[in-house]
Amino acid sequence: MTSDLRTPDWVKHAVFYQVFPDRFARSGTVPLQPSGLEAWDAPPTVYGYKGGDLYGVADHLDHLQDLGITALYLNPIFASGSNHRYHTQDYFSVDPMLGGDAALRHLLDAAHARGIKVILDGVFNHASRGFLPFHDLLENGEASPYRDWFHVHGFPLGAYGEDPGTPQYECWWNLPALPKLNTDTPQVRAYLLSVAEHWLRFGIDGWRLDVPNEIDDDAFWREFRLRCRAVNPDAYLVGEIWDDASRWLQGDQFDAVMNYPITRAVLGFAAREVDAVEVAKCGYRELERLSAERFAKALRVEVERHPRPITEAQLNLLGSHDTPRVAAVVKGDASAVHLAALLLFTLPGAPCVYYGDEIGLDGGHDPECREAMPWDRPDLWDRERLAQFRDLIALRHAHPALRTGDVDVAYARRGVVAVRRRSADEDLLVVVNQREDEAHVRVPIAGLAPGVRAPLFGAAAVEVVDGTLHARLPGRTGVVVGL
């Protein structure tokens, strides 16, 4: 653990929005856009392109700003032979289908003018068969000067199934399209570090790092952090690690990770039931329904697992491009989404909204969770869901205690959890009723002045009597009260 552990201050105050660029918005201004695109409103497919671009993201910043978004996380944008762009071909060029480097420049300038940060997805564990060094290896075999850029076991490589055996090189999940880079090679390390520096100099505000645990080399990530911070001292470095990430969160590698343990706990508490079939397809593997007591225990574990600067910088989410959408996980139960969102925006860590969740998109696992944003179909928008998200985000922005306050579970019993968030200037209580029936909650809190309390969010009868807060919550609802 480093003694001067620090995470970027702006992150703990941010609300993120994740954009899958191919599916968010077409601008109609990208030159030489290919013609073989899928219809925007057709069901998404594994390999098809919709043709969304970065100019399209910039065109809809009004929507994001109105929602209260202050930071964007973009899925990969570099030149690639896949709609998701995790098959990187050129780390130094924005994909021309997204508008090229000029489109990123336009988006960064437009976002920064509104006070919105932008982080990019860095896929540094593996590249693609179209990545020039690997293509050279395909063309020249053992004579390739790039042989040590990859983990080659023999020839022929079997990159396109020409060999009936497994590929003769290491690749991500044994997929021939994704050759694993050999970061033990000094030139590979230098190349990847220069990529990280280049785009920070270009103006991005940080990196979301794809499967960084598969580069099993703490020294590499320590140098990565040092090099990034030398360019931008406030660059946010967040890793995609699904389980306990303590090894990487000692203050010398990442600032945070995508906080899937909190996702699991929140969904397990909020859901009446989960779609086990869809859940089993992704990294969740399974989601257990949690009682109030078990949720409280899980929350305490996650809050206490890391130093406070890490906890407050964690990227909290209800779903992503790698999971079924939150609405699909809970089988379309609007009350479950509402309770989950209330917890997302009131717990420590930077909340992240996956594009379209705010309007009720409900696709299952990939490719269904990567559908096109229906900008031209307002009849498909869940306006109540949009209002809930907007109000919760505004609540978080308005109350510093929800961002940087202390966290205490004040009550956890019979389907009801109350989480207290306290700062020097504020004292708030978040109460969530998992049950179907009304709950009468009594929370002893010393020093409270008697009287009725008007909720800051939600509908409930709240009164303080003899140092005890009494709250009556309808079933499947939550409330935030100022103490």
Cross-strand pairs, 419: 409, 430
- 10 Å CB burial of residue 163 (0-12, 13-18, 19+) is middle
Give the tokens for residue 199. 């785009």
| DSSP string for residues in 345-387 | TTSSSEEEEETTGGGT----STTGGGPPP-TT-GGG--HHHHH
Give the tokens for residue 272. 């009446």
Taking a C-beta distance cutoff of 8 angstroms, is the pair 385, 360 a contact? yes
Active site residue 210: yes
Please say whether the dihedral angle defined by the alpha carbons of residues 328, 334, 340 and 345, taken in this order, is positive or negative. positive
| CB-CB neighbours of 153 under 10 Å | 12
Cross-strand pairs, 471: 441, 462
- Of 218, 293, 310, 305, the closest CA to residue 261 belongs to 305
Taking a C-beta distance cutoff of 8 angstroms, is the pair 317, 358 a contact? no
The DSSP call for residue 207 is E
The owner of tokens 């021939």 is 176
* Residue tagged active-site, from 240, 322, 358, 427: 240
Taking a C-beta distance cutoff of 8 angstroms, is the pair 69, 353 a contact? yes
* Residue tagged active-site, from 205, 210, 322, 362: 210
- Alpha-carbon distance 17 to 15, whole Å? 7
Give the tokens for residue 226. 């040092």
Taking a C-beta distance cutoff of 8 angstroms, is the pair 349, 315 a contact? yes
Active site residue 234: no
| H or E element that contains 111 | helix 100-113
Question: Quick one: the chain helix, strand, coil %, rounded to 5?
Answer: 35, 20, 45
Report the catalytic residues: 210, 240
